[in-house]
Structure 1
Amino acid sequence: MPRIRENTVRNGNFGEADARKTRSEVPMKNPVKLLHSLYLAVRYTLPIWIDQHTHPPFFRSIQYRWLSRTHRARVKLIQRQYEIAFGRPLDLEAPKTLNGKIQWLKLFRPDPLITLCADKYRVREYVKEKIGEQYLPKLLGVWKRPEEIDFTQLPEQFVLKVNWGSGQNLICRDKKTISETGYRKTLRRWLRPFANQYYLALEWGYRDIPPRIICEEYLAFLEQNPKTFKIFCFNGEPRVVQLVMDDKTPQETINYYDTEWNLLPFRQNFPNNPAKIPCPVFWEQMLELARKLSEPFPFVRTDFFESPDGVLFSELTFYSDAGLARFEPEEWDEKLGEMLELPEPMIEKTK
């Protein structure tokens, strides 16, 4: 009997009057409110669930591209990102921490000069004007599409990178061992719209960069001395340096120093290096170059290499670690935040 009842109900031949009666007794929700609740759930809750449970860049970038079309939506997304990373709400009215102030800069300082300088190709113009071409690695080529690259014209060693990403580098140490097809496939993937750093971390400065592939000289000295000096500049003044050793290897370490090369007692992302690292030979020169390059910006990280012949420019970074990396101990987030005086917003704050 239960099976017959189930079938007749499914076919609409049994209990129809009872069903109508039951439905009529249940008050209907306002359809507008129902749709609005569904909209809010999809727009603001789904991205957080995806961030908490999955991390494929493709899916994260697609949701950000879809959800970040308005300033109000970007504010909501960045607030959610920050809350997931730190377990507390983001204060955009009066942020005190460095990470909080970086989020503020993402939202309220859409400076076109940042877009130019976040572009790993066009920043060369800025560096040439500010400190001189001699600090730049040699440029071997620039292309719009991977198919345009003629590998026969490149030297035996070189570095290929895209201009709108982070860490997207192909380092060729021996041209005879590489797969040109594989290189082109990788570059093609990096040039897809969803690979733009803006759609991965909502870093505004990357959004309007026209994609390019650039080829620079291979820096052999980094094999023997793999150090990168990343100088945090606040309102045009160098204050803290991040020394990265063995970058992107299992042995990677990061130390922080003040401008007098005193080790600072905190860490981010990676362990500190226990060795006593000597002050670089060209340290004063690096500080002066960082001061000149950072002059127009409230906050920027100026990155350099130290070669046997002097200092080489690496890149400018306006949103260090996307403003989402914890300090250990946490008090240093606020200590560094005190060094940054925020400028007037370029976009009216959203209430």
Structure 2
Amino acid sequence: MISKAVSSRTVDRLVIDLTRMWCFARHPFVCWHTYKDSRVLPDPAMPVTYVDKFLWRKLFDRNPLFTLACDKLASKAYALSVCPELKTAKVLWSGSDAALIPPDVLLGNVVVKANHGCRWNIMVRNGEVDKARLHRRTSRWVRRRFGKRFGEWAYKDTVRCILVEEMLMDRGEPIGTEYKFHVSGEVTEYVYAASRNNQGEERKGHYQRDGRYISPSSDSGAAWVEAPLPKTFSRMCEIAEKLSAPFDRMRCDLYALNGEIFFSEFAVYPLSGKGITNVELRDLSRHSWDLRQSWFLSAPQKGWRRLYASALRRRLEETQPEAGSGDVRQLRSAVA
């Protein structure tokens, strides 16, 4: 019996080693990009760190719902279907050619963005916009497939189009703070709140699920400050967890405005999987994110991926504590 168990572990290690070689040979640039950011040799076949888990997600976890999450229009519809109480910024127009945007749509305060990308946005204040420049930029967006370079495959099948949204305004200015809920296993790990004033000064902070501020490291800079949270914060946590329920890990972005909660977007690959600077949060994410809940390890796989999925699942059962275990609870309290 012992000999059989040892033999099984040996086979699993061999399968994982061969898979690791495949990752480096088949996706050298994506692996290099991960190494360049972390300066640590990644392990995409037996991922343990936060960075490696995102690399693994890029290479293996082809959850079809990731495409919905990367599609701004589709994710809005999903969010409203799951939580009808939510609000979203009103979509005033969508299409593949920005030259067809009706002139009156660009009057006032709106945001022009790509449905299929990240940070492809143009802010229009009081109708002031360089239409020639807008057409050039949006045409490039429509021609490009976002995320291809860094292995963010879920954008591949997202509908390529341009949309114009109303700009959420708070007392005459664009809404100042966005709350980014990092959710693993239907539980909020932490919340990142970021705001920028009219002078371009940024203020940001991390918070626990119960609203307690997470102190930054000593060299984080003056931008990290504690700020009052909205009265709807606890409800925002519940909504983010409900919206993120189909995923093993997801970042869900929300706004709070005049007592109402607005859905912004999902982030399947936040910052393309770069590491978190806060050491305690990085450890918390590493332990809280249970890959056994992922699509790849939950759905039947074919060919050599089936062998790899079985080997990885067995190794994780041996090495990874259960999500919500004492180790994870201890880490949650450590970031207070």
Interval containing the TM-score (normalised by the shorter chain):
0.7 to 0.9
Moved more, 281-290 or 77-86: 77-86
Q: What is the deviation of 1:224? A: 6.4
**Aligned counterparts of 2:106 and 2:225: Cα–Cα separation in 1:** 39
Query: Is the contact made by 1:90 and 1:100 (CA closer than 8 Å) also made in structure 2?
Result: yes
Within-5 A mapping of 1:206-217: 206-217=155-166
User: Which residue of structure 2 lines up, in the alignment, with residue 286 of structure 1?
Assistant: 236
Indicate which of 283, 296, 316 corresponds to 2:246: 296
User: Which residue of structure 1 lines up, in the alignment, with residue 315 of structure 2?
Assistant: none
User: Which residue of structure 2 lines up, in the alignment, with residue 205 of structure 1?
Assistant: 154
Within-5 A mapping of 1:141-156: 141-156=93-108
User: Which residue of structure 1 lines up, in the alignment, with residue 43 of structure 2?
Assistant: 91
Higher Rg of the two aligned structures? 1
Moved more, 202-211 or 148-157: 148-157
SS at match of 1:191: helix
Indicate which of 154, 159, 179 corresponds to 2:130: 179
Which runs of no fewer than 5 residues in structure 1 stay unpaired? 1-69
Percent identical across equivalent pairs? 23
Indicate which of 259, 278, 284 corresponds to 1:335: 284
TM-score, normalised relative to structure 2: 0.74
In structure 2, the CA distance between the partners of 1:318 and 1:241, relative to structure 1 (3 Å rule), is same
Q: What is the deviation of 1:225? A: 5.0
SS at match of 2:43: coil
Indicate which of 110, 135, 148 corresponds to 1:158: 110
RMSD across aligned positions (CA) = 2.8
Letter in 1 for 2:254: F
Indicate which of 123, 141, 164 corresponds to 1:190: 141
Indicate which of 197, 219, 237 corresponds to 2:168: 219
SS at match of 1:121: helix
Q: What is the deviation of 1:143? A: 0.5
In structure 2, the CA distance between the partners of 1:206 and 1:156, relative to structure 1 (3 Å rule), is same
Moved more, 338-347 or 211-220: 338-347
In structure 2, the CA distance between the partners of 1:270 and 1:249, relative to structure 1 (3 Å rule), is farther
**Aligned counterparts of 2:225 and 2:232: Cα–Cα separation in 1:** 20
Q: What is the deviation of 1:208? A: 1.6
**Aligned counterparts of 1:247 and 1:335: Cα–Cα separation in 2:** 31
Query: Is the contact made by 1:254 and 1:272 (CA closer than 8 Å) also made in structure 2?
Result: no
User: Which residue of structure 2 lines up, in the alignment, with residue 310 of structure 1?
Assistant: 260
User: Which residue of structure 2 lines up, in the alignment, with residue 320 of structure 1?
Assistant: 270
SS at match of 1:198: coil
Which runs of no fewer than 5 residues in structure 2 stay unpaired? 1-21, 312-336
Within-5 A mapping of 1:39-118: 75-118=27-70
User: Which residue of structure 2 lines up, in the alignment, with residue 230 of structure 1?
Assistant: 180
Letter in 2 for 1:100: D
TM-score, normalised relative to structure 1: 0.71
**Aligned counterparts of 1:178 and 1:278: Cα–Cα separation in 2:** 34
User: Which residue of structure 2 lines up, in the alignment, with residue 167 of structure 1?
Assistant: 119
Q: What is the deviation of 1:206? A: 1.0
Query: Is the contact made by 1:234 and 1:300 (CA closer than 8 Å) also made in structure 2?
Result: yes
Indicate which of 63, 72, 75 corresponds to 1:120: 72
User: Which residue of structure 2 lines up, in the alignment, with residue 12 of structure 1?
Assistant: none
SS at match of 1:255: strand
User: Which residue of structure 1 lines up, in the alignment, with residue 15 of structure 2?
Assistant: none
SS at match of 2:235: helix
